[in-house]
Amino acid sequence: MFGAMTTEILYNGQCPICAAEIAHYRKLAMEVAAPLDFVDLHSAPLNDWGLTPEQATRRIHARQDGVIISGFPAFVLIWRAVPKLHWMARVANLPVVRHIAAWGYNWIAAPALYRLHLYRMRRV
């Protein structure tokens, strides 16, 4: 993609669910040289992102053109960048779907994954 700006995706590599999903996205992105750079938050300079470790761990983040996008919209950026996933971005941008999906991510998925992360870290 000539001239495309790289979008950085900040994710929790210690979360097995997150890591598996990102591995899938990374594979699809590499197949088409999509301008995505996947960054594990545990090896990233979080100050550059303007995030604390807790904030970074609570949800997925993306940085595009210097702007931080958090939560469900970060997934839409991934889907938009990978041709095989364009259809997901289109569906996700439908008003009703966008609101329901964002609500589900913000109130169910992200908090559950964060609690699982805290549980795993206590057991280490």
Domain for residue 2, yes or no?
no
- How many separate domains does the chain show? 1
Q: What is the pLDDT of residues 73-90, one digit of tens each?
A: 999 999 999 999 999 999
Domain for residue 1, yes or no?
no
Largest pairwise CA distance in the chain: 46
The answer, yes or no, to whether residue 4 has pLDDT greater than 80, is no
At 124, which amino acid appears? Answer: V
Q: What is the pLDDT of residues 14-56, one digit of tens each?
A: 999 999 999 999 999 999 999 999 999 999 999 999 999 999 9
- Tell me the whole-structure pTM to 2 decimals: 0.92
Domain for residue 116, yes or no?
yes
Per-residue pLDDT, 1:
43
Category of 119 on φ-ψ map: left (φ > 0), alpha (ψ -120 to 50) or beta: alpha
Which residues form the domain of 77? 7-123
The answer, yes or no, to whether residue 8 has pLDDT greater than 50, is yes
